[in-house]
Amino acid sequence: MSRAFADTRPDVLLERSALDDLEESRFPDWDAETVPRVLLVAEPEFTAAIAAMQAVDSALRGILPTYTSEREIQIAIEAVAEGLFVLHPDVAEHAVTASGAPRASTASFGQQLSPRESEVLNLLAAGLGNKEIAWRLKISEHTVKFHVTSIFNKLNASSRAEAVAIGVRRGLIIL
């Protein structure tokens, strides 16, 4: 490995994996766990890869089948480098089929936020309190509390900061 490469932290790692832990010794001094990753997996591993992507501390940002074209891989890497999450349509279809959810819910993991909950989550991300959110949305503070509780439950979050972090990871928050 050249010294120039050893001093450079990649924007994205592309891995062909059976979801095994990476050998940290393969990487130079940068923290490999914080580098966003795109994973090429075989179809039997789609479910496990999706579960790995949903983990709170996961650096996994893209899941592609092993038969993905070179062009699709390039596009996925570019999207992940820009901060997006990437699921190949076949992986998303597998997730929906495996969950038994209706086809229309391909875009979501778990319970989907309502449009109003999405508005409240984005205002939470902006740092607004319940009173300010209520004023902006022209609803009562009690209704805001109801929406915040619902958001916490749907995102499995226990605080506003955690809900915002999960919302960012899942692409629910407009930055």
Alpha-carbon distance 48 to 92, whole Å?
Answer: 13
Alpha-carbon distance 91 to 68, whole Å?
Answer: 11
Least confident window among 1-5, 38-42, 67-71, 143-147: 1-5
- Residue range 115-169 forms a domain whose CATH class is mainly alpha
Residue 24's pLDDT band (boundaries 50, 70, 90)?
Answer: very low
Q: What is the pLDDT of residue 10?
A: 72
Quote the mean pLDDT of the chain.
78
Q: Which of these CATH numbers, 3.30.300.30, 3.60.10.10, 3.40.50.2300, 3.30.70.100, describes 3-105?
A: 3.40.50.2300
pTM over 0.85: no
